[in-house]
Amino acid sequence: MFFVRTVSKDDLAAVSTLLSETWHDTYDGIYGRGKVAEITASWHSIDTLEDQLERPHSEFIVADDGTRLGGVAFAAMSEQASSDQAKVAMLHQLYVHPDCQGQGIGLDLLEEISNALSDASILKLEVDPANTKAVAFYEAAGFAKTVETQDCGGNSGIPADVYELQLTRAGS
C-alpha cells in the first residue's frame, strides 16, 4: 500500500529516476528516446527538483510504500494580475511509475495536491494529446480542455493541451 507524503531532499534521486523511467515509458514512442533523455536531463535533474522543493506556495509529494516510490506530483500557485481573479494552481507533474499504474495512486496524489493548495480555485495542467492514458485520466477526474499551447512548460516547443479543473471548497 502506498502512502502520500511530502518529498524530502533525500528523495530527489529516486524522484528523478521515477520521472525518467515514466517519461521513457510514455514518450519514447512519441518523441524518440534521445529527445526524452534530453528533456528528462533538464526538467527532472536533481538541481531542478531541488528548486521545486524550495519553491514557495507549492506542494511536492510522493506515493511511497516504504520500499519504493510509486508516483510523484508537484503543483504551485500561479501569480495573479489582480486580487479579484480566480486563484490558479499549476499542476506541473503528476506521474505514476508504469508498474504502479491502475492502483489509485494518481487519484491519491491529485486529491492531496488539490487539498494542500487550499487557496486555489482552479487547478490547471498541460498534457500532450498523444499521451492518451493521461488525457483519459484527467478527463475522468473532471478536467476540461480549455486551450492549446505550442510551448509546453513555457520553453520546450512541444505542443500540449491545457486542461482545468474547478476546485470546490467548503463554504464557497
Reported confidence tier of residue 168, pLDDT bands at 50, 70, 90: confident
For residue 84, the model assigns a pLDDT of 55
> What are the DSSP calls for 59-128, one per residue?
EEEEEE-SS-EEEEEEEEEPP-SSTTSPPEEEEEEEEE-GGGTTSSHHHHHHHHHHHHSTT-SEEEEEE-
Which one-letter DSSP state was computed for residue 142? T
By the 8 A CB rule, do 152 and 126 touch? Answer: yes
Question: What is the C-alpha to C-alpha distance for residues 19 and 141, in angstroms, rounded to an integer?
Answer: 22
Domain ranges of the chain: 3-166
Cell, residue 6:
511530502
- Average pLDDT estimate for 88-116: 95
| Predicted confidence (pLDDT) per residue in 112-142, tens digit | 999 999 889 999 999 999 999 999 999 999 9
Report whether pLDDT(81) > 90: no
By the 8 A CB rule, do 71 and 96 touch? Answer: yes
Reported confidence tier of residue 108, pLDDT bands at 50, 70, 90: very high
Question: What is the C-alpha to C-alpha distance for residues 96 and 68, in angstroms, rounded to an integer?
Answer: 12
Question: What is the C-alpha to C-alpha distance for residues 9 and 100, in angstroms, rounded to an integer?
Answer: 23
- Picking from 64, 88, 90, the residue whose alpha carbon sits closest to that of residue 6 is 64
Question: What is the C-alpha to C-alpha distance for residues 124 and 81, in angstroms, rounded to an integer?
Answer: 17
Which one-letter DSSP state was computed for residue 11? G
For residue 14, the model assigns a pLDDT of 97
Least confident of 31-45, 51-65, 130-144, 147-161: 147-161
Look up the pTM and report it: 0.91
For residue 149, the model assigns a pLDDT of 80
CATH number for the region 3-166 comes to 3.40.630.30
Report whether pLDDT(65) > 60: yes
For residue 83, the model assigns a pLDDT of 57
Report whether pLDDT(143) > 50: yes
Question: What is the C-alpha to C-alpha distance for residues 142 and 137, in angstroms, rounded to an integer?
Answer: 9
Report whether pLDDT(82) > 50: no
